[in-house]
């Protein structure tokens, strides 16, 4: 009983530490988010929020729906409308710390993993504007967390959480499809393929399709016009040179040079470490989307943010793997 009580106390202390870090980051963003006017992309989301539909040419419906809630609560207040972006990034900070803990990291590892998110440019940006990439980012983090829980516990019920997050992610940003490709590769190329016999995996897949179905039907009725639009934007970005520097930006823009060694070591651990074999699926979940975006020449603005959301999320939960290896001993 004493051991159980001590474990519960430690868990509460860990939550308190992570919550404090997330709260501090949120307070800073809330205090500064009213200093600049609306970004042009925010104005588009704001207008779409006033005319809700099951999807739009530029993106699926989740982001305008959340913005509609913000309008009802705060009107056109910059700070109010950006509050949901702040909350999304605060949640990502906490979940990143929790992932480090699930991988065996003690409190120091969890705190450093959370701080690695706080000091990285991408999450700083995502908390300052109301855009679909903000929430897309959070869904990727949640999927990574659910995957860790799945691989650690062996409980196939986690596939329902993964499927739900994929479905909501597809209703937020279509680049979730690249992460799905990484998940499929991770299942097929690692011992996780045993879940192919589990009805829970297929149930999760069905759930993701069910959630995404309204927008999928709408796109089919409009001959997938969003794909044409995204192709046009991507072609424009490549023509303007915005696709340059993809690899280098993984180090100084997605993360930063100070924390880059964390995710590099974590990636090596998942792909090549003997102790990381159980979590090798995570390595493929990073490599496949990252290589796909590199091959497709991910660009700035819409396309380059897509690549940042792709590679950075996985980089952070890989940093959790590095902390687990360095300070947490073997995974429990």
pLDDT in tens, 11-58: 899 999 999 999 999 999 999 999 888 999 999 999 999 999 999 999
Sorted by sequence, the CB contacts under 8 Å of residue 197 that are 6+ apart come out as none
- 303 vs 291, which has greater pLDDT? 291
| Nearest in space to 175 (alpha carbons), one of 138, 205, 136, 142 | 136
pLDDT in tens, 244-257: 777 777 777 777 78
Q: In the predicted model, is pLDDT for residue 306 greater than 50?
A: no
Mean pLDDT confidence for 279-300? 80
Q: Greater confidence, 299 or 204? A: 204
Q: How far apart are CA 42 and CA 129, in angstroms?
A: 7
- Separation CA 101–CA 15 (nearest Å): 10
| Higher-scoring residue by pLDDT: 232, 187 | 187
Percent of the chain topping pLDDT 90: 62
What's the chain's average pLDDT?
Answer: 85
Rounded Cα distance between 210 and 308, Å, is 27
For residues 231-243, average pLDDT: 77
Q: How far apart are CA 260 and CA 270, in angstroms?
A: 16
Q: Measure Cα distances from 263 to 101, 255, 267, 294, 316 in Å.
A: 16, 9, 6, 18, 6
Q: Please give the model's pTM, rounded to 2 decimal places.
A: 0.87
Instruction: Check residue 304 and give its pLDDT.
Output: 38
**Cα–Cα dist 69/50, whole Å:** 10
Tell me the average pLDDT across 304-310. 37
Residue 5's pLDDT is what? Answer: 66
- Report yes or no: 328 and 106 within 8 Å, Cβ to Cβ: yes
pLDDT at 3: 55
Name which of 112, 191, 108, 183 is nearest 146 in CA terms.
183
Higher pLDDT, 331 or 223: 223
As a whole number, mean pLDDT of residues 305-325 equals 39
Instruction: Give the pLDDT confidence score for residue 231 in this predicted structure.
Output: 82
SS3 assignment, position 11 = helix
Sign of the dihedral through C-alpha 96, 101, 104, 109: positive
| DSSP one-letter string for 220-243 | HHTTTHHHHHHHHHHHHHHHTTTT
Could you give the percent of the chain with pLDDT greater than 70? 87
The 10s digit of each residue's pLDDT in 107-165 is: 999 999 999 999 988 888 899 999 999 999 999 999 999 999 999 999 999 999 999 99
pLDDT for res 263: 82
Contact status, residue 259 vs residue 312, Cβ threshold 8 Å:
no
Are residues 301 and 234 in contact, defined by beta-carbon separation less than 8 angstroms?
Answer: no
62-107 residue pLDDT tens: 999 999 999 999 999 999 999 999 999 999 999 999 999 999 899 9
Virtual torsion, Cα 83, 87, 90, 91, nearest 10 deg: -170
pLDDT category at 299 given cuts 50, 70, 90 is very low
Report CA Rg, the chain.
19
Please spell the DSSP secondary structure of 281-332, one letter per residue.
HHHHHHHHHHHHHHHTT--SHHHHHHHHHHHHHHHHHHHHHHHHHHHS-S--
């Amino acid at each position: 009983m004493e051991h159980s009580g001590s474990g519960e106390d430690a868990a509460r202390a860990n939550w308190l530490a992570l919550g404090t870090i997330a709260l501090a980051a949120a307070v800073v963003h809330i205090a500064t988010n009213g200093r600049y006017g609306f970004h042009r992309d925010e104005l588009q989301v704001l207008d779409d929020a006033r005319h809700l539909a099951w999807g739009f040419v530029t993106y699926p419906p989740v982001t305008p729906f959340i913005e509609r809630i913000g309008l009802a609560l705060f009107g056109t207040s910059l700070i109010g409308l950006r509050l949901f972006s702040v909350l999304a990034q605060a949640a990502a900070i906490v979940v990143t710390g929790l992932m480090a803990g699930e991988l065996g990291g003690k409190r120091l590892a969890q705190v450093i993993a959370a701080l690695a998110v706080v000091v990285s440019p991408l999450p700083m940006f995502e908390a300052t504007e109301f855009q679909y990439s903000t929430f897309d980012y959070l869904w990727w983090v949640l999927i990574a967390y659910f995957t860790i829980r799945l691989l650690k516990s062996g409980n196939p019920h986690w596939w329902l959480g993964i499927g739900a997050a994929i479905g909501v992610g597809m209703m937020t940003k279509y680049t979730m499809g690249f992460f799905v490709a990484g998940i499929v590769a991770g299942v097929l190329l690692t011992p996780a393929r045993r879940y192919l016999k589990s009805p829970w995996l297929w149930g999760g897949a069905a759930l993701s399709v069910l959630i995404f179905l309204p927008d999928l039907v709408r796109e089919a009725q409009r001959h997938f016009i969003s794909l044409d639009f995204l192709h046009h934007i991507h072609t424009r970005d490549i023509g303007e040179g915005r696709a340059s520097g993809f690899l280098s930006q993984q180090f100084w823009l997605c993360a930063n040079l100070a924390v880059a060694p964390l995710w590099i070591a974590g990636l090596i651990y998942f792909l090549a470490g003997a102790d990381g074999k159980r979590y090798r699926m995570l390595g493929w979940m990073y490599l496949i989307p990252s290589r796909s975006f590199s091959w497709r020449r991910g660009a700035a603005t819409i396309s380059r943010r897509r690549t940042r959301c792709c590679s950075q999320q996985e980089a952070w939960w890989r940093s959790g793997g590095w902390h687990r290896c360095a300070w947490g001993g073997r995974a429990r």
